[in-house]
Structure 1
Amino acid sequence: MKTIKMIFFDMDGCLIDSEIVYVHSWFELFQEMNIPIELDEIMNWRGKNNRLINDRINEFVGNMEETLNLRKIRDDRFYVKLYHNEVVLKPHALDILNYLDSKNIPYALVTSTIKEKASKVLTHFNLFHRFKFIYFGDDVVDSKPNPEIYLKAVNQSGFNKSEILVFEDSKNGIEACNNAGLDVV
């Protein structure tokens, strides 16, 4: 049995129960604006960065300024839900982090979410200080399923890939881990 010396966590969907709030915020907005993007497609955006999602929305809207305005509206709605406690920590997330702390196992956050947005969420839940390091979606050029973000995290960790375990929830995130040669649950 191999020894795990480092843990990487995705944020949305693994530590924070936010994915469904993001998805429904988009879907409700698209319905209000009569933009024909289906719920199934929005579900597949999980783990992708803003640039890729914006490009897809822009295919329907045809105007990047309007696309960015829609994103701002969606983000504002998300933050209202966050501050009204509709976005919560995943069950036992703090227990897991506390356990890892008790065993002196370092952990990092590796998320497709951009720093500005993730920082608000991490601050809200008082998690920012807990991670050895954090990689955000805007720290890389290519989003998950591209392994770039995980390869950078491996390099910064100082551990071999075989000593790292990743917690991911999205298809794109799992594929990124597989593409990086990392064990993922």
Structure 2
Amino acid sequence: MKAFLFDMNGTMIDDMHFHLDIWYDVLTNDLGAGLTRQEVRSHMYGKNDELLARVFGVGRFTPDEVAAISQRKEEKYQAVYKPHLTLLPGLHDFLESAYHANIPMAIASAAIPFNIDFVLDNLDIRKYFKAVVSAHDVLESKPHPEVFEKAASILGVEPLSCVVFEDSPKGVEAALRAGMKSVVLTTMHAPDEFTDYGNIITFAKDYKDQKVVRLVV
């Protein structure tokens, strides 16, 4: 059985530049981190609490403070991004085709449920996914393979049957460690940032790419 596992941010929607803008604002203006935009970009993977720990050190904020910072950041992101919220070109048709071909699909994302619900419900695409695995459902973040392994387990499919749609090197590494192939959407990272990974089927700017379209067949 074939199955499709989707990261969300930068993979289904082209929003990573919005996340970068908001994180840069929160880290530099609200929290005084003094980072460049490129430095902020380098920290943008994994869970929000992990990002804050990488920047400020473990224990700098209490769990309640981390939760409040994270919530404030995501509320700012949603307010700014909502007018632009749309699926990547070709993705709706791709989901429809896979759905009617009975290919099981799951969301496997480092995003919190607050942001996953924001996308699935505002775009009315929840019906396509038999499983949703978020940051709250795993102990280890990408590049650890837990999120993809858990999604495959819920779908009842073997890792070798899964194709992971990702946009980041850490995500592709997680797919590799899970024993899964990957399609890379080049919304945020260039192909030359993925030279260490041998599990990539193809690079694509969106889901109109014929190599991607043919995966449903």
Provide TM-score, normalisation by structure 1: 0.86
Q: C-alpha distance in 2, partners of 1:128/1:57?
A: 34
Identical aligned residues as a percent: 25
Alignment pair present for 1:9 and 2:3: no
Contact 1:58 1:67 in 2 (8 A): no
Specify the alignment match of 1:77 in structure 2.
76
**Aligned AA (1:9):** F
Q: C-alpha distance in 2, partners of 1:139/1:63?
A: 22
2:57 counterpart SS class: helix
List gaps (5 residues or longer) in structure 2: 184-217
Which segment drifts farther, 30-39 or 153-162? 30-39
Residues matched between the structures, number: 181
**Aligned AA (1:29):** V
* Root mean square deviation of aligned Cα: 2.2
Specify the alignment match of 2:210 in structure 1.
none
Specify the alignment match of 2:96 in structure 1.
98
How far is the alpha carbon of 1:118 from its aligned partner?
1.4
Q: Whose RCO is larger (CA < 8 A, sep 6+)?
A: 1
How far is the alpha carbon of 1:60 from its aligned partner?
9.9
1:129 counterpart SS class: helix
* CA shift digits 1:58-87 (9 cap, x unpaired): 33994446554433332221121233x133
Provide TM-score, normalisation by structure 2: 0.74
Which segment drifts farther, 43-52 or 143-152? 43-52
Write the mapping of 1:91-170 to structure 2, written as runs, cut at 5 A.
91-170=89-168
Contact 1:10 1:167 in 2 (8 A): yes
How far is the alpha carbon of 1:92 from its aligned partner?
1.5
**Aligned AA (2:24):** F
**Aligned AA (1:26):** W
How far is the alpha carbon of 1:129 from its aligned partner?
2.4
List gaps (5 residues or longer) in structure 1: none
Contact 1:18 1:88 in 2 (8 A): no
